[in-house]
Amino acid sequence: MATVSPTPLLKDELDIVIPTIRNLDFLEMWRPFFQPYHLIIVQDGDPTKTIKVPEGFDYELYNRNDINRILGPKASCISFKDSACRCFGYMVSKKKYIYTIDDDCFVAKDPSGKDINALEQHIQNLLSPSTPFFFNTLYDPYRSGADFVRGYPFSLREGVPTAVSHGLWLNIPDYDAPTQLVKPLERNTRYVDAIMTIPKGTLFPMCGMNLAFNRELVGPAMYFGLMGDGQPIGRYDDMWAGWCTKVICDHLGWGVKTGLPYIWHSKASNPFVNLKKEYKGIYWQEELIPFFQSVALPKDCTTVQKCYIEISKQVKAKLGKVDDYFNKLADAMVTWIEAWDELNPSGDISAKIPNGASK
């Protein structure tokens, strides 16, 4: 009897978004896991360069000319010469879920030596609930072989929808430039077999290298900001998106998980180039974190778009004085939402805010 391989989970409900400035040979290693899925390739940098995609993948590719053609003047909100451009892929996708991965991330092996299907694990993370309101000390209670521990309130065991699954990295960890400079040879060899919900009210440094999210829930919040060419900052694209998304998830009662799956991050980018990109962010973030910790979203912010516009107003009011860059970023946040709604006219996603979820 021929064995029929099971249809890959969410085969027609998930897009894989890859920002790139190079040929995509890395896909060969991911072929067994990625081939059934549709890819959205966002080509950064010189649009006249041809990006080679290995045979057999179903994809759409957008370069800067395409972004300008599709968004017109609103293209100003999409970064150029920075991986932040990847968020254009989230906007043009029509799928319920997104997985985004960098082109220097490869298939890692678990302690038993088995190839890790990172996409499958992210999908499991997104399809199982999160527990932001009470911390389960035995980690993810929904994994086989685990459960809620004694003292965990039964009224909270249903959990909430998971909006984000944040994966980690073996080999080259996602360190900032100063840490990279101090520890150039450090490699992450520690495989921690855990998935945790990040508690409500706690921010985290979201890395875009190995990230999945429910686009129908938080897509409009996943704007990767104004980075790269012409901007005073870089490598804070995913951080900005993560802070905005976490504040909104806390308000709307959705969960964010971090931990498994791991990918193998192969290339350390140049720490001196990174330092130049990051240095303003390194001192600005000492003001940004207290700002995001203090963001209060009113009860009538019942959709991600409304939450996001409210945050942009508070960015302008409170961070505009830190640097004029934040006035421009606040305006770009509004442009992003306008562009999102133009390309995705299905309207705002309203959330039924569970008791105790909003402040």
Binding partner selected for residue 238 from ligand L74QOO4W, Mn ion, none, CB under the kind-specific 5 to 8 Å limit: ligand L74QOO4W
Given 95, 235, 306, 316, the residue binding ligand L74QOO4W (CB under 6 A): 235
Nearest approach in angstroms of CB 216 to ligand L74QOO4W is 23
The Cα 327–Cα 91 span in angstroms is: 23
- Given 176, 238, 278, 310, the residue binding ligand L74QOO4W (CB under 6 A): 238
Question: In this chain, which of 20, 130, 214, 312 binds ligand L74QOO4W, going by CB under 6 A?
Answer: 20
Q: How many CB atoms lie within 10 A of CB 193?
A: 11
CB 164 within 8 A of CB 249: yes
Length, in residues, of the chain: 359
Question: Judged by CB under 6 A, does residue 237 bind ligand L74QOO4W?
Answer: yes
> CA-CA distance, 214 to 242, in Å (whole number)?
14
The two three-digit tokens of residue 281, written as one number: 């962010």
Of the candidate residues 13, 60, 66, 104, the single one contacting Mn ion (CB under 5 A): 104
Q: Count CB atoms within 10 A of the CB of residue 163.
A: 28
State how far the Cα of 135 lies from the Cα of 127, in Å rounded to an integer.
Answer: 19
Which residue's Cβ lies closest to ligand L74QOO4W? Answer: 83
Q: CA 253 to CA 219: how far, in whole Å?
A: 16
Shortest distance (Å) from residue 103 CB to ligand L74QOO4W: 4
Q: Is 175 in the site for Mn ion (CB under 5 A)?
A: no
β-strand pairing of 14-20 with 38-43? parallel
Which listed residue (10, 34, 71, 83) binds ligand L74QOO4W by CB under 6 A?
A: 83
Window of 32-40, 134-142, 230-238, 285-293 that interacts with ligand L74QOO4W by CB under 6 A: 230-238
Is 269 a residue that touches ligand L74QOO4W (CB under 6 A)?
A: yes
Give the chain's end-to-end CA distance (angstroms, integer). Answer: 57
| CA–centroid distance for 297 within its chain | 21
Residues near ligand L74QOO4W (CB under 6 A) are 19-22, 44-45, 81-83, 85, 102-104, 207-209, 235, 237-238, 267, 269
Contact residues: Mn ion, CB under 5 A: 102, 104
